[in-house]
Structure 1
Amino acid sequence: MRKQALLKALKISLILLGVIWVVYIADLLVPYNFNHSGIVPRSVNGLKGIFLSPFIHASLIHILSNTLPLLVLTFLLFAFYPKQAWFVILLSIVLGGIAVWLLARPAAHVGASGLIYALAAFLVTAGFLARSFTSLIVSVLVVALYGGLVWGVFPSRPWISWEGHLFGAAAGVLLAFLLKKNIQKQDQAK
């Protein structure tokens, strides 16, 4: 893999993470509580949260716990699947968010963890579907680093949106299958 491609993947990942941190800092500085802009299931006002929730975090611990996984997973996505990366991010947010809006318990669901679960699920599934050595190594790396995420799709603590995790992961798997042919073509071209 070329150094330029890796640097570009890192740059995009850092910019995305920077936007999330800017939103968090803005939330601290303005009198409006951004959590009200999260996904509120089955409410018209909560629809905007489908697009906004990945950028909103409820606390410093919340954003810190999402920072490193989001950085690593977006870097891997843009490094190994650059042609599909933005599509995967946008559709993960939309599909996971719609599922949360339709099916989750009443609460304000915020945070990038649904996107993190989607990216992890996409990278693992895409690696196995691509059937190339490099993609398989990426899958194994993601499982080794974030295999414990699987426990987050089950209800545990009332303040954690396990539904966001579950539907994010489902969106990631679905997108890997939808993009299977593109992924395989991309791997063959390398």
Structure 2
Amino acid sequence: MNDYGTRIPPTGRSSGERFKRKAGDLAAGAAGAAMIVIVLVAAMWAIEIVDYVVPGDLDGYGIRSWNIEGLGGIFLAPFLHAGFGHLMANSLPLLILGFLAALRGLGKFLLASLIIIVVSGLGVWFTSSPMVVTVGASGLIFGYFGFVLARGLFDRRILDIVIGLGVAAAYYSIIWGVLPGEAGISWQGHLFGLIGGIIAAWVLRRKRRAVETY
């Protein structure tokens, strides 16, 4: 009990032991984050190679706006790209922002990705011109950007706040991508991806421990 009557249970560990445990957890989280994001991007490259080699056009399975059958493309569009140039442009920011988004664990990362994909995909489906097909991982990129920024604010962890500030400084210019601009670029996917990332950070925020006072 402290001087203000707040009962705080002892941890039973020294500060050195707690530091080592946290360092170990962070190292394990970083290794897992790197692995899952590399696998994710590798899968996108494998799909694009298949799309290039086999007859037909897999891009037709993307989000087809205002078409009921096109709703299924919400879950496929992030893995499809309009050529290797499109995929190359998305790969590096996806690796970096995806890695930072995945640092807090695979489960949260997968749930955050699902929320971003659904919010971004539905936004594209509702707001794009009818029957336009949209593909690409840009919604995920903007989603991870929003997730990493908002996570520090909602969780109030020093490390997450520092990471968020670093991401904001390094990638602040991409925020213009949420505005209508170049033809053929889905600003809707960018905007709703960003919104989806912020929603994911709120939904998956760290729960506060109850503290007894008297």
How many angstroms does 1:5 deviate by?
2.4
- Offset from partner CA, 1:66-107 (integer Å, 9 cap, x none): 001111111111113544111001111112111211222232
Alignment of 1:113-124 (within 5 A): 113-124=138-149
C-alpha distance in structure 2 between counterparts of 1:143 and 1:32, whole Å: 40
1:70 to 82, 94, 104: 94
Greater share of residues in helix: 1
C-alpha distance in structure 1 between counterparts of 2:28 and 2:197, whole Å: 27
C-alpha distance in structure 1 between counterparts of 2:153 and 2:106, whole Å: 17
Alignment of 1:143-158 (within 5 A): 143-158=168-183
Structure exhibiting the larger radius of gyration computed from Cα positions: 2
Alignment of 1:48-87 (within 5 A): 48-87=72-111
Question: What residue is the counterpart of 1:110 in the other structure?
Answer: 135
Q: Name the TM-score, length of structure 1 as normaliser.
A: 0.91
C-alpha distance in structure 2 between counterparts of 1:48 and 1:31, whole Å: 22
Question: What residue is the counterpart of 2:4 in the other structure?
Answer: none
- Once the two structures are aligned, what percentage of the paired residues are identical? 35
Evaluate the alpha carbon distance shift between residue 146 and residue 81 of structure 1 in structure 2; reply closer, same or farther with a 3 A threshold.
farther
C-alpha distance in structure 2 between counterparts of 1:179 and 1:86, whole Å: 11
**1:133 is aligned to 2:158:** yes
Question: What residue is the counterpart of 1:174 in the other structure?
Answer: 199
Q: Which moved more, 1:61-70 or 1:104-113?
A: 104-113
Long gaps (5+) in structure 1: 186-190
Question: What residue is the counterpart of 1:43 in the other structure?
Answer: 67
Structure 1 letter corresponding to 2:149: V
Long gaps (5+) in structure 2: 1-22, 210-214
Question: What residue is the counterpart of 1:188 in the other structure?
Answer: none
Alpha-carbon contact 1:80-1:135 (below 8 Å) kept: no
C-alpha distance in structure 1 between counterparts of 2:84 and 2:146, whole Å: 25
C-alpha distance in structure 2 between counterparts of 1:40 and 1:58, whole Å: 14
Q: Name the TM-score, length of structure 2 as normaliser.
A: 0.81
- Offset from partner CA, 1:101-141 (integer Å, 9 cap, x none): 12222321100000110110011011122222101011012
Residues matched between the structures, number: 184
Alpha-carbon contact 2:33-2:105 (below 8 Å) kept: no
RMSD of the TM alignment (CA)? Answer: 1.5
2:122 to 83, 98, 106: 98
**TM superposition outliers: structure 1 runs of 4+ over 4 Å:** none
Alpha-carbon contact 1:40-1:109 (below 8 Å) kept: yes
Question: What residue is the counterpart of 1:29 in the other structure?
Answer: 53
Alpha-carbon contact 2:62-2:74 (below 8 Å) kept: yes
C-alpha distance in structure 2 between counterparts of 1:102 and 1:20, whole Å: 25
